[in-house]
């Protein structure tokens, strides 16, 4: 959202006005709208921007009640991803890091909004603290909006501005039409995958999107970064002489260690032949940081969530659950640890010691890779690791990030490092969806058979789906993960 907001500000700087119309505006809505020249709020609308809050959901009580056992091996005081399965509340370390993270992100929101509205962050904080739900009168008096008007009044003003008086509505461009125009206008700069292979005259910069959980294998399922598949894509770009630099856009909480290492290996090999620059999005943490560490340069936004340098393994068993239903297990084996990965019983102390040694070894490797890739002292990395998450601002101060900036800044740096002048081409991987594809997907999601509960029940269902779906991405062959300890949902 900060990058979109920056784009709005650049548009304003071109001398063209930006108008925002709000009805029920959440923090994210108002954060974007605050960059507009004119902000209009419905007379019965409201701005809900009270601050940031995090309320993790814990399942330990439910797992205990239904007889599901959980055993954990982890390294890092702040590696709290496993806590929802082993505790009923936050640990002191988890609470401290989450509070610091929210404070940092909220400071970014306050500062950006206050600057745009000609106020100080303290004034803005005082307003939201006194109002909670900011109603139109208070929003206008406090300078959060420029006027209060109904939608039809807003349309009438736009008709005047576009000299469309007497018409049914104001002059405008339909989204589908604009999409085609924008695509045509961008064609010289943004090439297709096929064109990239043949275009070497001016050089090509490849933007590769690592979006979602890092999983093992070759799956192309949306929301996942499959290690084998992603590494293959990087290998092709490394071997393509027309590609002069790679920008890796990381928006991932991490996941499988083996998949992260497969991707990082290709990043290291690619860097030997051409610049590899990382642009961090909402988060690039744990495994997301693992794949970033060896790039030439790391760019992040002030509110990017990064770090979380830690490792854990989690083992479930259903022995008591099964026994409660009269189901029992028996078996034979050819070795002492042949059934160590079973879910039919809890792990023995000796088996858990093996898992712990593996986790500690992976953690040591993670520390070493960060120290080597970022040219940091190992003792310093050990101090700032421990599974702790950091904001982009803090990460820069600690040496985990090189520069504060968005994707555009990363692209400009990559072009500079590759010696490319203006006129270079950009190609994106995976291929961007055509407009028709995006619309079709949207319609499919709105279909009745995908209907879900609404209201309070719908919110509970959404939270459960969000918290539990990540378990589907736990497919590392060693059962060891480097993953962000929290799920990020912007409301």
**Residues with catalytic roles:** 79, 286
> How far, in Å, are 63, 81, 147, 157, 435 from residue 175 at the CA level?
48, 41, 27, 21, 10
Determine contact, residues 73/312, Cβ cutoff 8 Å. Answer: yes
Which one-letter DSSP state was computed for residue 36? Answer: S
SS3 percent helix, strand, coil of the chain, rounded to 5, is 45, 20, 35
Bridge partners (DSSP) of residue 298 are 278
Q: What is d(CA 314, CA 68) in angstroms, rounded to the nearest whole number?
A: 13
Determine contact, residues 240/228, Cβ cutoff 8 Å. Answer: no
Bridge partners (DSSP) of residue 256 are 481
Question: Rg of the chain over CA atoms, in angstroms?
Answer: 25
Half-sphere exposure of 168 (CA within 13 A, CB side): 0
Rounded to 5°, the CA angle 431-11-44 comes to 100
Determine contact, residues 19/158, Cβ cutoff 8 Å. Answer: yes
Q: Where are the beta strands (DSSP E) in 19-140?
A: 19-26, 38-48, 69-75, 133-134
Bridge partners (DSSP) of residue 237 are none
Which three-class secondary structure state does DSSP give residue 6?
helix
- Which ranges of 164-286 would DSSP assign to H, the alpha helix? 175-186, 193-198, 227-239, 257-271
Q: What is d(CA 217, CA 229) in angstroms, rounded to the nearest whole number?
A: 7
> How far, in Å, are 2, 117, 214, 283 from residue 113 at the CA level?
11, 6, 34, 21
Rounded to 5°, the CA angle 7-12-15 comes to 140
Output b/e per residue, 199-214; b: 16+ Cβ within 10 A. beeebbbbbbbbebbb
Which three-class secondary structure state does DSSP give residue 191?
strand
Q: What is d(CA 148, CA 226) in angstroms, rounded to the nearest whole number?
A: 49
């Amino acid at each position: 959202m900060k990058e979109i907001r920056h784009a709005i500000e650049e548009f304003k700087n071109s001398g063209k006005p930006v108008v925002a119309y709000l009805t029920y505006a959440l923090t994210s809505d108002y954060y974007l709208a605050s960059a507009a020249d004119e902000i209009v709020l419905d007379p019965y609308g409201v701005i809900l921007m009270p601050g940031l809050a995090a309320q993790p959901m814990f399942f330990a009580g439910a797992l205990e009640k239904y007889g599901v056992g959980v055993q954990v091996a982890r390294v890092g005081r702040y590696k709290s991803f496993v806590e929802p399965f082993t505790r009923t509340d936050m640990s002191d370390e988890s609470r401290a890091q989450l509070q610091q993270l929210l404070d940092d992100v909220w400071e970014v929101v306050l500062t950006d909004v206050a600057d745009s509205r000609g106020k100080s962050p303290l004034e803005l904080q005082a307003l939201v603290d006194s109002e909670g739900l900011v109603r139109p009168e208070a929003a206008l008096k406090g300078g959060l909006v420029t006027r209060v008007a109904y939608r039809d009044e807003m349309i009438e003003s736009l008709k005047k501005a576009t000299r469309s008086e007497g018409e049914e509505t104001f002059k405008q461009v339909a989204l589908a039409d604009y999409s085609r125009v924008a695509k045509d206008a961008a064609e010289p700069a943004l090439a297709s995958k096929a064109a990239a292979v043949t275009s070497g005259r001016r050089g090509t910069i490849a933007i590769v999107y690592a979006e979602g959980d890092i999983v093992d294998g070759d799956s192309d399922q949306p929301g996942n970064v499959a290690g084998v598949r992603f590494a293959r894509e990087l290998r092709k770009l490394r071997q393509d002489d027309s590609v002069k630099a790679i920008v890796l856009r990381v928006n991932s909480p991490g996941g499988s260690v083996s998949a992260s290492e497969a991707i990082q290996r290709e990043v290291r090999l690619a860097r030997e032949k051409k610049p590899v620059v990382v642009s961090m999005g909402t988060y690039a943490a744990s495994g997301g940081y693992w794949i970033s560490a060896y790039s030439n340069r790391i760019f992040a936004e002030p509110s990017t969530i990064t770090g979380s340098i830690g490792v854990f393994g989690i083992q479930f068993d259903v022995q008591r659950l099964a026994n409660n239903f009269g189901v029992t297990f028996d078996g034979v084996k050819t070795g002492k640890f042949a059934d160590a990965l079973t879910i039919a019983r809890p792990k023995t102390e000796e088996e858990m010691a093996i898992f712990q040694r593996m986790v500690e070894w992976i953690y040591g490797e993670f520390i070493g890779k960060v120290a080597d890739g970022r040219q940091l002292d190992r003792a310093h990395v050990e101090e700032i690791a421990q599974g702790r998450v950091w904001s982009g601002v803090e990460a820069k101060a600690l040496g985990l990030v090189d520069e504060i900036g968005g994707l555009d800044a990363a692209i400009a740096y990559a072009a500079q490092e590759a010696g490319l002048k203006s006129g270079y081409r950009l190609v994106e991987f995976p291929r961007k969806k055509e407009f028709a594809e995006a619309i079709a997907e949207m319609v499919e999601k709105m279909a009745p058979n995908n209907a879900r509960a609404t209201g309070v029940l719908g919110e509970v269902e959404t939270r459960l789906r969000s918290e539990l779906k990540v378990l589907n991405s736990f497919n590392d062959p060693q059962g060891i993960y480097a993953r962000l300890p929290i799920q990020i949902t912007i409301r």
